[in-house]
Structure 1
Amino acid sequence: MADELDLLRAADPVPADGPHFGDGPLDHVAERHLDRLVHGPRPRPGRRTWPRPRLVWGLTAAAVVTATALTVLPGGPSDGTAVAAPRPLTVRAHSVAVPLAQVARLAAVAATDGSPALRQGTHVQSWSLALGDGRPPVTLPEERVVRWRADGTHTEVVVATDPDHPGRPVLTDAGRVEDGHVLSRRTFPPMWGDAPPLAAPPHTPARLRAYLTDLSHSATGSLTTSELLDATVELLDNWTLGARESAALARLLADAPGLRPAGQVTDRLGRTGQAYVLDLGTGGRRMLVLDPATGAVLGLETTFTRDDPEYGVRAGDVMEYRAWMR
């Protein structure tokens, strides 16, 4: 049986050694791999697939929304081998905390030649905490790849996998599965639009702010820092930013109040970045991880900052983590 996780990761239309495909359709190898995933053996009859969890940043709301997740887990999380509970990212001791304004300046310089280019679609690894039903919290990890074609069609492949525990069973909404198990693979008909997120994000700070404000459906016409991070998540779940878009976003983040530099971290995919922390004031904290040389967003983590016995969580538990890749 083919290793579908390897096929998924191989279906990268912009490999490091193929820059000429940076802003175009899938190359032949990626097209072949993705076609095997999309049109290969389907899930067994009767197996139910579940939509991927959406981000909910209000802690109480998140508990309500995810409370149903555990009701579909056969037998509950009795086997620890299937429970992925990532620890919060740790700032490296004695590391230098680089100001966001400096990252924005470096990103602007790095974007001078416009490479890499903006690409529609995303590749993201996520960990989401499921709460409720009187059971201990469990973390649901998954990897998602979305690729668009020139004709406006796009394909989404979602795989159950946890890079922290390669080869071990993975817990999902539908139960316990093998690492690399394909949860869903869907092909969508042609789609076009001139509004976010279908419209391409601009690469100047002022226009990108307007784009993100529109994307967030802000009632006030402006964005708080937390809303800016929410909109950034939505943006990166639809687009892989190019150098110029990353630079514009870094400029917006540098101007956002409340994001304080914390120092250097190693993210859950082994990448080195700079961490910036926002205290939510509602029992939560968000940590944004950026590439300090390019301003590219590597990840965003939300953790609890106080215990909540009702839901069985403690201060420091990771509520949500997303890591974006090219």
Structure 2
Amino acid sequence: MADELDLLRGADPVPADGSRFGDGPLDHRAERRLEQLLREGPPGSRRGPWLRLSGPGRARPVWSRWAPAPSAPPGTTRRHRWLPAPGRASLAWGLLATAVVTAVTLALVLSGPGTPPAIAAPRPLVVQTGSAALPLDRLAERASAAIGAAGVPRLRKGTHVRSWSLGMSEDAPPVTLPEERLVRWRPDGSHTELVVETGPEHPGRPVLSDEDGVPRLVEDGHVLLDRTYPPSWSDAPPQSPPPHDPDLLRAYLMEARFTDTPLTTPDLLDAVATLLDHWTLGQRESAALARLLQDCDALRPAGQVTDRLGRRGQAYVNDARGVRRMLIMDPATGAVLGLESTLTAPDPRYGVREGAVMSYSAWMR
């Protein structure tokens, strides 16, 4: 045992107390390869699955909404690590894993200190140059006119959403985790939730489907959560059905945010995201939301944009508190397609540059 460890130490060019690579994440390709190796194990081994943890004691990856893990004590920072599930691994397999890490680390060292870390982060969406901006009042008129048209959707509890969320730590490069989430409710009040990790090498390609009424995986993806919940009923927002009157919808969103004070535009957009993470809106609800948003002076029309699922929409932008929020809406129906939040100033403490995508959600039907 001592001989193998001495050989590994001699082959590792990085000092044990080095600050740059002490606890930093691997790049995306190396991380996926290492995960594959560690999950499969050598022939004849009985190695169990590996879990990605975020925060003390959390068995589900949560780099969600740019918020720290709720179980972490105040003042602590999150560190992204790979930890094995209980089980015994052979010495040969442990040495192989260590050799993979050493090889990746060597590649990072040889690439030079100026090489930026590989991050699966999307670029900010860009408004099409010269495109006409559609005012929100005109969009609201179109949405209202579409009510009752053939083929318009109806309100449905549940959601199908692709999301990208930025996780940050004071002692590791920022990491973006792309996920796809499908929630469907049954008539008896129970519901299913299926969440998979979707790699950035397949942008905009859905990996979940429920065409036959049963959520299922249709392409390769790392399953993060697959669970069925017992029946539950609630008459409190956002669990209760949203109204299709603008004033009532405003009060509904305030209650969903647990506040009695009027919502600022950033708070309103965050409340819209919460609503769409629970409900797939019908045409009447989309029209009510468009009429509600048309009164937001701080939400300005910016022009046409193509979202991360290849859909064309109209962008509406709000700048506040160092964050730019871009709401993307269908110009014909007023349905919300996506919401992107980017930083308008760098944050050296976390190594995040200006323009970094903090979060992005693309809602599907």
Q: TM-score, normalised by structure 2?
A: 0.67
Where does structure 1 differ by over 2 angstroms across 4 or more consecutive aligned residues?
A: 44-49, 51-58, 64-67, 69-75, 77-83, 112-115
| Equivalent residues in 2 for 1:81-230, closer than 5 Å | 83-113=119-149, 115-162=152-199, 164-166=200-202, 180-220=221-261, 222-230=262-270
Identify if the C-alpha distance between structure 1 residues 251 and 264 changes in structure 2 by more than 3 Å, giving closer, same or farther. Answer: same
Q: Distance in 2 between matches of 1:66 and 1:246?
A: 40
Matched, 1:309 2:345: no
Secondary structure of the 1:255 match is coil
Aligned partner of 1:233 among 258, 261, 273:
273
Amino acid in structure 2 at the alignment position of 1:161:
T
Q: Among all aligned residue pairs of Structure 1 and Structure 2, give the percentage whose two residues are the same amino acid.
A: 58
Alpha-carbon displacement from aligned partner over 1:189-217 (angstroms, at most 9, x marks no partner):
10111111221111111111111111111
- Cα distance in 1 between the residues matched to 2:147 and 2:76: 39
Match of 2:285? 245
Which residue of structure 1 aligns with residue 360 of structure 2?
321
Relative CO higher for 1 or 2, CA cutoff 8 Å, sep ≥ 6? 1
Residue pair 1:166, 1:179 contacting (<8 A) in 2 also:
no
CA distance in 2: counterparts of 1:284 and 1:239, whole angstroms: 25
Shift of 1:179: 5.4
Between 45-54 and 236-245, the greater mean CA deviation after superposition: 45-54
Alignment of 1:278 onto 2:318 = yes
Question: How far did 1:231 drift?
Answer: 0.8
CA deviations 1:79-137 (Å, max 9, x no partner) are 99984110000000110011111111100001234831000000000001111142211
Residues 145 and 134 of structure 1: is their aligned pair in 2 closer, same or farther, counting only changes over 3 Å?
same
Cα 1:69–1:323 change in 2 (3 A) is farther
Are the equivalent residues in 2 in contact too, given 1:117–1:243 (CA < 8 A)?
yes
- Is 1:265 the counterpart of 2:305 in the alignment? yes
- Which runs of 5 or more structure 1 residues have no equivalent in the other structure? 1-43, 59-63, 168-177
Is 2:338 the counterpart of 1:299? yes
The 3 A distance-change label for structure 1 pair 83 and 56 is closer
CA contact (8 A) 1:66 1:131 kept: no
Partner Cα distance (2:349, 2:244) in 1: 44
- For 2:248, give the aligned amino acid: R
Q: Cα distance, 1:52 vs. partner?
A: 4.3
Q: Deviations over 1:282-304 (max 9, x none)?
A: 22111110001111111111101
- Report how far residue 275 of structure 1 moved: 0.5
Deviation digits for residues 33-61 of structure 1 (CA, Å, limit 9, x no counterpart): xxxxxxxxxxx556464154443589xxx
Contact between 1:101 and 1:254, CA under 8 Å: does it hold in 2? yes
Q: Secondary structure of the equivalent of 1:131? A: strand
Distance in 2 separating the partners of 1:149 and 1:98: 38
Work out whether residues 65 and 166 of structure 2, in 8 Å CA contact, stay in contact via their aligned partners in 1.
no
Unaligned runs of 5+ residues in structure 2 are 1-47, 53-58, 69-73, 85-100, 109-115, 204-218
Structure with larger Rg:
2
- Opposite residue 279 of structure 1, the aligned amino acid is D
Matches within 5 A, 1:55-70: 55-56=65-66, 67-70=77-80
Spell out, residue by residue over 1:136-175, the C-alpha distance to the aligned partner (whole angstroms, 9 max, x if none): 111110000000000000000000003x4129xxxxxxxx
| Contact 2:50–2:83 under 8 Å retained in 1 | no
| Residue number in structure 2 paired with 1:17 | none
- The number of residue pairs the alignment matches comes to 265
Aligned residue for 2:112? none
- In 1, distance between residues paired with 2:128 and 2:67? 26
